[in-house]
Amino acid sequence: MIIIITEGEKIIAMTDISSPHTEPVSTAHLFYIPFRITEVDSQVKELGRSERTGCSRIFVVLGGSGVLRIHEEPYEVSRGSIYLCDDFQKLDVTSHGLLKGVLIEYRRLGTADPDTGVLQCPEPLHGCPEKLLRQADELQKLWREPKLGGPFRIQQLFIELMNGLYEELASRERTGRSWLKQSVSFMEAHFVEDLTRDQLAERANVSPEHFSRAFRKYTGRTFNEYLTLLRIRGAQKRILTGSPDLNTLAHEIGYKEGAYLSRKFKESVGVSPTVYRGKSKRIAALNQNYTAILTALGITPELGVYTGWTEKIAGGPEIPEGQKFNPYGRTSASFYEAVAAARPDIIISYDTEEENRSLLPLAPVLELPFKTMSWREQFRMIADIVNKRREAEEWLALYDKRLIPINRQLDRQLGSRGTAAVWEIGPDKAYGFGSSHGRSCQILYDDIGFRPPERMLEQGLSWRGYVETSVEAIVQYAADHIFITSLPCDSHGRQRLMRLFRSPEWLALDAVRRRRVYLLDQPELFFGFDPLSSLEQLRILMNVLTPDHKFT
């Protein structure tokens, strides 16, 4: 037998006394009980507040039209309008004609949290499905005449209505987030223009008032606050990458004069643009390539992403654990919290990361388009940001100096370089890369003159950056040299690769017959697309291509 323990109208525990070893357990299950259903017509002027605390209400307009006042704010309602609220809100209704509706009051049982499971919306929903209206109308009739249905029909119909309302709210929230996301994206692309809240509300096809409420809930800021944030972050980025004079900068980000920009900048950042330009800055590098670039410039970021290889060259155990960041497998909240804890002045990230927008309140996010920028260009840009351009140019000059004897040696040994394919092999798929995705392709194709296989180019390697195929299909991408930078870690993947290596198709490849297949299998190192990784990749490539060459 089950005993239910209650506190007032709330179920707080249940126990099964048929078993002597059963302890009471708390429950998070919710139950919804209608306790009053009232017909509303044009004669009713005030719906008032509920007589019972801890309840919720559903007001459904079944016909006609009128004005629903919620805390004195008027909303036009008509057939298909539904409003969901708690017991505290005072509701008045004024009919334009033969307004007809139903007010349903219900209680929630089964949780100590009075807000859990509540269906609420800050303003009426319009154009609700006819099915919900029919259910509310039938519920009203059954409430007056219970004998019209079976003993459980009211409860069944009420739960069907609640479920329909829940799905309708969820659907509208998804749609609402869509226009909100589009509005925010539009602001980010056009913040230098003379934007207003009313303009964006009209674009979204919502009222200005609804736009303001939804926008603040979505972004945590008012429209004007968010617009100011975008403009100040834009000014910070321009200052970091070499800005013009203050008046020109003001016009570039949407303000009319430098004095106004300076005032808004100081309000947001805490210092003037001039002081900001010269002060040392705390940096969060949100991927291993940018951590390695900063390391090459002699800078340890306040927060950086390290692999075992980059950590070793950056100082190993000397790097405090609090400055090491693992971006993988985090929730959005924990990602934000970890970056916020570093208190960065600058955040450097790929331009494809979804988290970048959420980090905007913390600091300017410099998004580098790694697919269209070489590692050299990224190196120079980050060097400019940290005032280390001279050091970057010296480093690149030494790197290029190393390339001169290497290319002379390859000229003597190989002559025309021919083609090279670089593969990263997983359990089920193989990926071939272009020079924009690292894996030593930036060296093979850009620095020492190899070409990708023609088949890779035909499949969009130049614009996509990589090709994806099955492990067995790599034999279709014939090349003079084949480099494999990563092998499968699991036994199934390794067995599959061994079958490939024993297959007649593989053994017939020219690169295989001439012993020009190189199993490097150092994924951490070859993933790198930065100065330090490129230098080490170059050394390893030369060891396998020209074993007699002395790398200095």
Mean pLDDT of 190-201: 92
Between these two residues, 32 and 244, which has the higher pLDDT value?
32
- What tens digit of pLDDT does each residue of 274-313 get? 899 888 899 999 999 999 999 999 999 999 999 888 888 8
pLDDT in tens, 20-47: 444 444 445 678 889 999 888 866 666 6
pLDDT value at 13 more than 50: no
Q: How far is CA 75 from CA 96, 122, 314, in A?
A: 12, 11, 62
* Alpha carbons 180 and 200: distance in angstroms, whole number: 10
Bridge partners of 57, per DSSP, are: 85, 105
Pair 34, 154: CB distance under 8 Å: yes
Q: Give the C-alpha separation, 68 to 73, whole Å.
A: 8
Give the C-alpha separation, 21 to 16, whole Å. 9
Q: What percent of the chain has pLDDT over 90?
A: 56
Residue 180 and residue 405: Cα distance in Å, rounded?
57
**Average confidence (pLDDT) over 47-75:** 79
Indicate the pTM of the whole model: 0.68
Enter the DSSP assignment of 287: S
| Nearest Cα residue to 527 out of 519, 518, 537, 517 | 537
pLDDT band at residue 9 using 50, 70 and 90 as cut-offs: very low
Does residue 6 carry a pLDDT above 60? no
Measuring CA to CA, which residue among 442, 440, 503, 439 is closest to residue 471?
503
Q: State residue 26's pLDDT score.
A: 45
Contact 160, 135 (CB under 8 A): yes
For residue 132, the SS3 value is: helix
Q: Is 518 left (phi over 0), alpha (psi -120 to 50) or beta?
A: beta
Confidence of residue 14 (pLDDT cuts 50, 70, 90): very low
